Amino acid sequence: MPANPIINDRRNKVERRSIGTAAQFPIITTQGICIRKDRRITPERRVSNIVVKEWSIKNSIFEVLFGEKEKGK
């Protein structure tokens, strides 16, 4: 199967994003509030760093956890 030239072109471009902070802390807001540190986190957006684990359980346990609710309850 030939490679998709659109995807390859997009993935080969220079990275535009950076992980550096946009502001220096502490910051004083316009309301006079002092913000001491940045509490935001940058989630990993690339699929290559995602870890997926698969768990196996008995069908009877699965039905108890995820089965349809009994009528009247």
pLDDT at 2: 58
| Strands in the chain per DSSP E | 27-28, 34-35
pLDDT at 3: 62
- Are 20 and 42 in contact by the 8 Å Cβ rule? The answer is no
pLDDT at 71: 57
User: Per residue of the chain (73 residues), what is the pLDDT tens digit?
Assistant: 556 666 666 667 777 776 665 778 888 888 888 988 887 777 667 777 778 888 899 999 888 888 876 655 5
pLDDT at 41: 73
Q: How far apart are CA 15 and CA 45, in angstroms?
A: 13
Give the CA radius of gyration of the chain.
24
